[in-house]
Structure 1
Amino acid sequence: MIVKDNKLSVSELLTRAVELKPDREALYDLQERLTYKQFHERVEKLVANLLELGVKKGDRVGVCLPNWNETPIIFFAVAKVGAIVVPFNPNYRQNEIEYIIENSRPKLLFVCEKVEKNVGLEKLTSNVEVIAVRFEHECTISFDSMLVTSGNHPSNTLPEIDVDNDIFCILYTSGTTGVPKGVMLPHRSIVQSGNTLAASLRCTTDDVFIVPAPLFHIFGIACNLMASVASQAKLLLQEKFQPEQTLQLIEQEKVTIHQGVPTMFVMELNLPNFDQYNLSTLRTGMVGAAPCPPDTIKAIREKMGLNLLISFGISETGTVTITDYEEEEINYLETVGKAIDGVELKIVNEHREILPLGEVGEIACKSAGVMKGYYGMEEQTKKVFDEDGWYYTGDLGSLDEKGYLRFIGRKKEMIIRGGFNIYPQEIEGVLAKHPKVLECAVVGYPNEVLGELVCAVIKLKKGESCTPDEIKEYVKTYIASYKVPSEVVFVEEFPVTASGKIQKGKLKEEMLNLLR
C-alpha cells in the first residue's frame, strides 16, 4: 500500500509502514536484515539517546556514513526529535569536512572509520560530540552502546513537526561554482518526492529496491529510501556502486526496482558477462541526476527489461517532473515528463519573463517541495527566488503544449560561439550514438575570435580506438557545422560526484589547462 499523504512527516512515514507491514523485510545492507518492526525499534532506542544527549528541535546532526543500515536508522531518529540531518560523503577530505562542520555547526556527528583515517577524530571532537559507527575510538561515543537502552521516552518530549516549514535535512551541493551551499529541505519536500516516485512506479509492498546511489544525496534519500518506506517495500543498500555486484544482487535478491544515474546503467550494460545474469525480476525504475541519451534509455528498457521512467529534479526542488508508467516512446526519449501534482512550471528569459511554448529558457518552478533556502546564506537564497516564491533553477529547457518538459542543459554550461548558442547536451546525444563511445561530455573553452569553442571529451569502450578526426566527421553528419567540436580529447576516466554524475566544472578546468 502506497502512503500518498504528503502531510506526513518523515518519521510518520516510517510509523505508518510499521503499522501496515511490521514483519516485512525493510533493510538489507549485505550485513544484516531488518524487518520494519526491528527498524522502528532501533529508531526508537536512538531517539531516547538523542533526547538524553540534549538534542532538540532545530539542532543539526551530521551523518558521515556510507549506505549502511545505521544510516536510515539515524535519519528517522533525528527526524523524530525534530532535529535536522546533515548528511555528507565519508570520502571527503579534511578541508571539506571542516567546512561543513563550521557552516552547519552540528550538535552531534555520526562517523565511520574512514573519517578517522582521512581527518583524525581529535580535531573533530574539539568542536562536536562524535559517535563512532562500526568502530571504537576513545574520543567518541559508541553507536552500538546507544542501542542498548530500552528506547522508552515520554511522548510529550517529542515536538510537533510542521511539514511545510520544519527542515528535515541540509544537503550540501558539490560546490562546482564556489563553496558548497547547504540546501534546506523541509519534511514535505522529501516525503512528497518519495510518495510521487512510489506512485509513479506503481510500487507495492512486494517490491525490492536496490540502492547504489549514496544516501547522502537527494536521489538516494528521496527517490529510493523514502519511496521504499512509502511502499513498505524492501531496501537493498550497496555500500559502494560496483556494476557486477549490482547485477549479482538483482539476481540473488530478486530486485524489482533499479534506479540510478546514466553512468551506472552504462557500466552495467557494458560488462562483458552482462548476459549471464538473470534480471527477469526487474520491473521498473527511474534514471535521474543527469541527462540520459535516448540510445541508453532504449538499451536499458530492452536489455534489462526495465520500464524506465525519466525524471527531472535537483537538490533544491525535490522531484519536479516525471514520465508516466505507460508513456509514448517519443516522450520518454525526448522529454523528462510533466510536472507532478502540486508543482508549477514556467520557462523564462534572462529578465524572468515567461517565454512562449517551445522556446528555450531557464526552468523555474514553484511548489511546497522547494527548499527553504541555503543555510546561513541569505544573499545567495535571494538570488534564486523571486517575491512570489518561484525558484529559478539555472537549468535550460522548453515546455510543449501538453506540458512535457524538454531538458536542454545547465545555463552556465551553454556555449556561445560567434553569437550562436550551443547546448552541450545536443552534441552529447549525437556522440553517445557512436558505436565506439562509452561516455562523453561537452564543455566550452575560450577563443579570442569566436568567444568560445566546443571541446568533446570522450571515454571509449574497452578495446576500441578512435581519432579526433573520426569523431568530427561523424558529428558533422548530424548537426550544423558551428556545433562540431573544435577539439576532441580522449580520457580513461571522468571526474565524477559520489552519485556518479560527471563533474562538468572540474572537467572544464582540466580541459582549460590542457588546451592552453
Structure 2
Amino acid sequence: MPSSLPGLGTLDAVLDHYATSNPGAEIAVEGDRRLTYIETNQLVDRYCDWLEGKGVQQGDRVALLAAPGIDYLLLLMAASRLGAIYVGVNPRYSSDEMSHVLKVTEPKVLLHAEVPNEHDLAGRAHAAAGRVAVLSAPDVAAMPASAAARKSPAGRMDVAVIVFTSGSTGKPKGAALHHDGLIGAAIGQYDHLDGESRRYISNLPINHVGAIMNTTMGCLVGGGTLIFQAKFDPAGVLALIERERAQTWLQVPAMFTLAVNHPDFANRDLSSLRSICIGGGAVSAPTLAALRSIGAKIFVEYGQTEVMSSVAYSHDGDPDEVLLNTIGKFDPRFETRIADESGGICTIGETGEIQAHGTCVLRSYWGDEKATREAFTADGWLKTGDLAARRPDGNISLKGRLREMIKSGGYNVYPREVEAVIETHESVAEVVVFGAPDDIYGEAVRCAIECKPGVMVTAEVLRQHCAAALANYKIPKSFDIVPMLPRLNNGKVDRASVRSHVA
C-alpha cells in the first residue's frame, strides 16, 4: 500500500486523509473547473447535508445519471460519507435498461447532471424512474458550509457501490462491491502503475468498475489528480493529455486503438505520460507498437467487476510478447487460483477456471440470492467464468470463457440479453448473438437470424429495433440473415456452428 496512506476503511476516508495531509493539492479538473482536496472534502460534507434533507440514510442507495466529472466524484464520496450506496447509471442506457437498474437497487433518489450531446436526460430519467424521486444534481458550491466535519458510519466490508454486469440470465446483475475491496484493489493498482502521486485521465462511464476503481480510487489512493473527459473521443483525449500533462492513461483497447489511429496522435506532445495501462481485453500488435513510441511504461491488467476490477498485471519491462499474449501475473496480495472442474489446482500449462477468494470478491449480487450462490464454488471461491493457464514463466494466458460473454470495447455484452430484444421483432424466428474478433473493439457483437417462413427483414430495420431497447454498444455490428440456422440432432440451434461458420 502507499507508504503515506494508513489503513482507511471507506472511500471518502481517502479523500479526507489527503484533505488533511496535502489540502492544497489538486484533486479534479473538469474543463475550466478545478478543485483541491480540501475544497472537495468540504463540498462533500455539504452534499451529505443536502442528501440527508432528501431522506437519504445509511444503507440507502443513491443513483446518478451523469458523465465522468466533478458531479460524479462528489456524489460517490458523499454516498460513502453517509454510509449510503452509490449506483451509477450510464447516459447511453435505454429507458428499459435504466428501469432495470432502478428496479433492482430501489434508490432513495435518482440524480441527473448535464451530459454533452445527450438531450432530455431529465425526461428519460423520469420515464424510467417509476416511484423513485428524480432530481437535478445540486450546485453544492452554492450551499452553506456544513456545521461540522463528518465521518462515515460504514464499515470496511459494507457495500460501497453497486455495479451492473451481465449474468447467466441475460439480465444485468448488480454486483455489490465493498469499501475494503475497492480500496485494496486501488492500492494494488497504485503499487503496480504509479508509486507516486499521478495525474490520471478519467473518462470511463460512471457505472463501470473501471471508473470507480481504476480511474478514480486508483488515482486518489496516491493523492493524485483526476482529469475528467465527459465523453471519450480520440482527438479530445490526446489534446487533454497534452494540455493537462497527464501521467497515467488507463483505458480499454478500443479506445487506445482509436486514439493511436487518429491523425493527431503524431502531432500531440504526450511526453508527460509515465504509465499506460490496457484493460478490458487484448490489445493488438499495431496499437501496442504505436503506444511504445510514447516512451511510457506499458502494462496490461486483468479482472472483472466481481473482483473489484483488477487482480493481475504485467510488470515493468515485460516484452511485447507478454503484453500481447498474457494478462501478466496474479497480484500475490489477492487470493486467486486456476482450478479444474473438481476444484483442484491446475498445473503449469493446464487450462482451468480463474477463481478468486477473500476480500477481493463482491459481497453479493444485490437482491439475487440464487445468482450469488451460483457464483461460488462449494468451498467459497468466486467463479469468474474465464479459462486460463499458467505459463512456465508465471504469466497467465487466457484461453476463453466458460460463459458466452462478449467483451466489446471494454463493455460486457451478454448474448441472451441482445437475443431477447431481437426476438421481439415480428419477422424473426430465431437468432444467435455471438462475438467475433475485431481489430478495434477486441470483439464485435454479431448475430445470425432465421426469419419466419415467407417474410424477410433488413439489417437496418433490426438495427433500429435494437436501438429502441439497447445501449448502442450492445447493438450488433452486423445482422446476417440466413435461410436456416444449423441445428443439433435434438432440434436446438447449434450455436457453436453458427459462431464458426457465420463468423
CA distance in 1, matches of 2:321, 2:230: 35
CA distance in 2, matches of 1:47, 1:390: 37
Q: In the superposition, relative to structure 1, how do residues 24 and 379 fare at CA in structure 2: closer, same or farther (>3 Å)?
A: same
Q: 2:184 aligns with which of 192, 200, 203?
A: 192
TM-score by length of 1: 0.76
How far is 1:149 from its partner? 2.5
> Is 2:86 aligned against 1:85?
yes
Q: In the superposition, relative to structure 1, how do residues 126 and 381 fare at CA in structure 2: closer, same or farther (>3 Å)?
A: closer
Corresponding position of 2:66: 65
Q: In the superposition, relative to structure 1, how do residues 67 and 458 fare at CA in structure 2: closer, same or farther (>3 Å)?
A: closer
CA distance in 2, matches of 1:458, 1:341: 32
Corresponding position of 1:25: 26
Corresponding position of 1:129: 133
SS in 1 for 2:139: helix
Aligned length: 434
TM-score by length of 2: 0.78
How far is 1:60 from its partner? 0.6
Q: 2:147 aligns with which of 140, 144, 152?
A: 152
How is 1:115-264 mapped onto 2 (pairs within 5 angstroms)?
A: 116-117=120-121, 119-120=123-124, 122-123=126-127, 127-133=131-137, 143-144=138-139, 147-153=142-148, 155=150, 160-163=153-156, 165-174=157-166, 178-205=170-197, 207-264=198-255
Corresponding position of 2:354: 363
Segment of structure 1 superposing worse, 114-123 or 360-369: 114-123
CA distance in 2, matches of 1:8, 1:64: 26
How far is 1:502 from its partner? 6.8
SS in 1 for 2:377: coil
How is 1:30-49 mapped onto 2 (pairs within 5 angstroms)?
A: 30-49=31-50
How far is 1:14 from its partner? 0.8
Corresponding position of 1:94: 95
Q: In the superposition, relative to structure 1, how do residues 128 and 170 fare at CA in structure 2: closer, same or farther (>3 Å)?
A: same
Letter in 2 for 1:314: Q
Corresponding position of 2:445: none
Corresponding position of 1:11: 12
How is 1:346-425 mapped onto 2 (pairs within 5 angstroms)?
A: 346-413=337-404
RMSD (Å) for aligned C-alpha atoms: 3.4
CA distance in 1, matches of 2:436, 2:140: 53
CA distance in 1, matches of 2:260, 2:370: 44
How far is 1:3 from its partner? 5.1
CA distance in 1, matches of 2:361, 2:190: 19
Deviations 1:294-322 (A, max 9, x none): 4433331x222221111111000022111
SS in 1 for 2:360: coil
Contact 2:251/2:277 (<8 A) preserved: yes
Contact 1:2/1:231 (<8 A) preserved: no
SS in 1 for 2:403: helix
Contact 2:66/2:90 (<8 A) preserved: yes
CA distance in 1, matches of 2:65, 2:440: 34
How far is 1:8 from its partner? 2.9
Contact 2:43/2:74 (<8 A) preserved: yes
Deviations 1:374-433 (A, max 9, x none): 11111111111124321010111111345422122322349xxxxxxxxx99xx9xxxxx
> Is 2:316 aligned against 1:316?
no
Letter in 1 for 2:194: R
Deviations 1:113-168 (A, max 9, x none): 558447445546661222203xxxxxxxxx1268513222475xx553221x2000
Contact 2:159/2:178 (<8 A) preserved: yes
Contact 1:2/1:230 (<8 A) preserved: no
Percent identity between matched residues is 25
Deviations 1:92-112 (A, max 9, x none): 121111111111100111113
Segment of structure 1 superposing worse, 303-312 or 332-341: 332-341
How far is 1:57 from its partner? 1.4
**Unaligned 5+ runs, structure 1:** 134-142, 415-423, 429-440, 444-451, 462-492
Deviations 1:16-70 (A, max 9, x none): 1212221111101114111111111111111122223332211111111101211
Contact 1:2/1:204 (<8 A) preserved: no
Contact 2:364/2:372 (<8 A) preserved: yes
Q: In the superposition, relative to structure 1, how do residues 388 and 160 fare at CA in structure 2: closer, same or farther (>3 Å)?
A: farther
CA distance in 1, matches of 2:62, 2:98: 14
CA distance in 2, matches of 1:501, 1:332: 29
Contact 2:258/2:440 (<8 A) preserved: no
Corresponding position of 1:268: 259
Q: In the superposition, relative to structure 1, how do residues 53 and 118 fare at CA in structure 2: closer, same or farther (>3 Å)?
A: closer
SS in 2 for 1:182: strand
